[in-house]
Each structure stands twice: as C-alpha cells, then as structure tokens.
Structure 1
Amino acid sequence: MTVSWTPHRFSGGLLALDTANTVVMRGDAAGFDRFADVAEIARFAEAASAFRATELGGRRLAAPQPERIAPAVLEIREATDRLFRNAVVAGGIATDDMPPFLRACASVLSGGTDRIGAAGTPFGDPATPIAFEVALAVSALSLLGELSRLRICPNCRWLFLDRSRNASRVWCDMAVCGNRRKARRHYRRRIAAGGKAAAREVDNV
C-alpha cells in the first residue's frame, strides 16, 4: 500500500529529519518503516520537493532509480537518527557516532560536481534537479549546527527542530501529536473519575 505523504509527515523541519522520521515509533514493537517498499523513496522525494522547497532553495529532488540509491539513503537515514537522537538524549554528540555518519554522507558526495552553499541557492542551481541522496547528505550535515534546537517528540518519538521564539515547542506537530496526547490524558481522567464514582456508589449501598 502506498504512503500518503501528507504535511504531517514533514514535521521534522529539515529534509534529513523528515527522512529519519520515515521509521515510525522507533524501538517499539508496533514500529514500521515507510521505506520498506523502496519505491516510496521516489514518492517521498517528490513530496519533499514541495514541502522542503524553502530549505532546498526551490531545487527539485530527483530519485529516478530508488532501488539503486536505497542502500545509501537508508545508511544516511540511520546514521543521522542515531547521531542526533543520542545527542538530544545525552546533551551532546558522541564522538563514536560521528565516523559512520560522516562516511555515510561522504559516500554520496564523493565525486559530485554540485556547487552548494551560495546565498539564495543553498542546494545549488534551482534550474536543475539534485539527486535526493546528495540533498539528504547536505541536509544531514547542516544539522551539526542545529543541536540546541533538536527535540524528540514525546508522543511519536520523531526528531524535529524547535524554531519557536522561546524554544519551548514540545510536539513535532501540535495538531496531531499534541492533540492525541491531550485526548489520551482526558480519557484517563474520565476513566479515573468514573472509577471513583463507582466506588462511592458501592460505599453507599
């Protein structure tokens, strides 16, 4: 079944985080990988071209052969998640996590001819597409300068950037995860209140 790449699936704040978040509920028995069907990599890249247009400077992402690039994409995804998730939890980057991350990024950048980083065109010439795996590596490397704003959503465990003015954002997406958590708290309060009411009825018998 194909994935619906809705705006919520791009709540990470950067292409590399959105990609890391294609594994849902990491570490949970109910978790799953939206890239289990590698054809989804191409569909994700197409959607990301629109949802991450500002980050990409308007440059389109190209993934014409997802089965060919899947190993590199998954390697970068997993190294990115490991490095930055551990950094959020521990309050800093573990040096041991850096070499696999840097190797994964370097593997797709080596031998490339793109020019990146210019003002207004951070991912190069917007007139031509950029390979998804190359853009992913560039996005992942940019996270090294965003450590203070990285967060883990307490509901879905996704990584996201907190760009709020006072750095107080809690959820990756308030409309989804925030509301789900509030609904669960409300449900538990109702259950607890119902239990107390039942106990009072027994006491009055």
Structure 2
Amino acid sequence: MTVSWTPHRFTGGLLALDTANTVVLRADPERTFDRFDDPREIARFADAASGFRAAELGGRRLAVSAPTAIAPVVLAIREATDRLFRHAVLRGAVATDHLSGLLGACAGGLAGSRTEIATPGKPFGDPATPIAFEAALAVSALSLLREDTVARLRICPNCSWLFVDRSRNSSRLWCDMAVCGNRQKASRHYRRRRAANEVNNVQD
C-alpha cells in the first residue's frame, strides 16, 4: 500500500528518528506494521524527507538509486537506531552492545560513499549535489549520540515513536500534539464519560 508521507510522519525531529518511526506501533505486537515492507517506499520517504528535513540536511537532497538493494542497509541502521536510543530513553544510559551495533550498521551505510561531510555549516556536505540516503541516514544516526541530544530524546506515550524534545523547558509529551496529544485527550474524555455513566446507572 502506498504511504502518504505527510508532515506527521516527520515529527521525530531528525532523519534517523523519522526513519526509526517507519515501524508503527512497535509496542503492540498484534498491530505493529512496517511502512518499508515495500522497498519502493524507501525512495518515496527519502524524497519527502529531502523537504521536511531540509534544515538538518543543509538543503542537500537525498538520493535513492536502487531501493531494494539498499533496503538491508537502511533497515539495519533503522533497527540499530531504535534499539539504542529507545533503551537510552528508558534507562537513561547508552548500552555499549547497542552502540557497537549502531556503529556497525552506520559503517555499512557509509561504505562506498564518495562524498565529504562535516564542513563548517554543512554537516551533510555540499548542497549542490545529492547524497545517498543510506549515507545521510548513518550521519543522522551518529549525530544523535551527542549528550545534549540524548538527554532530550522522548518516547511518545500514544504511538511509541521516538522524538527529540526541543521545547524550552523540556516538557513536551507527544511526538505530535495535533495527532497523538488529541487522541489521548479524546481517550481520557471518553473514559471519564463512561465511568460517570456507569456510576449513574448504579445509582438509578
């Protein structure tokens, strides 16, 4: 099924987190699904991410030449990213075995890449030329290891997506207030009304 890559799909705050969040409802084994089950969605995701993550990428476009060929590398980085940083949020520390897994996966994403990155003001390199999606994904994932970024990582209590909390007082609860926040509010309202109705029925 073709995915609509809307702004809500890019609420993680960084390319690597948006990619990790392409597995939906990770915490619910009965309902979870992978938006990259069709490798062609990797190319469509990268095209959308070029726009939604333009600030992070310094305006450099993401290139996907062969989605099926790069899928194993992309999925390896995605899963290593989720494993390491989800654990970091829950436990408040980075696990070394998870770190080795992330470094290995990112090495795979950078292997064969012939470009330059990390020039002043251009963390992803020259914006005039595209960068391979798997290489950019590796750079984004590695950038998450900064201590100040790890401290701001959160897990959305509604959908379980990872996101960076950039609010001034680090109090953001939801990946997307307009979606997950409103769903939680609606759910709480429904539960309160149901409880009140049950009390009224007992009293009658």
Matches within 5 A, 1:44-193: 44-145=45-146, 146-193=149-196
Unaligned segments of structure 2, at least 5 residues? none
Alpha-carbon distance between aligned partners in 2 of 1:184 and 1:76, rounded to the nearest angstrom: 34
Counterpart residue type for residue 6 of structure 2: T
Question: How well do the aligned residues superpose, as a CA RMSD in angstroms?
Answer: 0.8
Counterpart residue type for residue 54 of structure 1: A
1:144 match: secondary structure: coil
Q: 1:198 aligns with which of 178, 197, 201?
A: 201
Alpha-carbon distance between aligned partners in 1 of 2:49 and 2:58, rounded to the nearest angstrom: 12
Tell me by how many angstroms 1:200 deviates: 1.1
Counterpart residue type for residue 163 of structure 2: F
The sequence identity of aligned pairs, in percent, is 70
Structure 1 range deviating more: 101-110 or 68-77: 101-110
Tell me by how many angstroms 1:122 deviates: 1.3
Alpha-carbon distance between aligned partners in 2 of 1:113 and 1:34, rounded to the nearest angstrom: 29
Q: Deviations over 1:128-185 (max 9, x none)?
A: 1000000000000000011101000000000000001111101000000000000000
Counterpart residue type for residue 41 of structure 1: I
Alpha-carbon distance between aligned partners in 2 of 1:42 and 1:111, rounded to the nearest angstrom: 19
Alpha-carbon distance between aligned partners in 1 of 2:20 and 2:150, rounded to the nearest angstrom: 15
Tell me by how many angstroms 1:99 deviates: 1.0
Unaligned segments of structure 1, at least 5 residues? none
TM-score (norm 2): 0.97
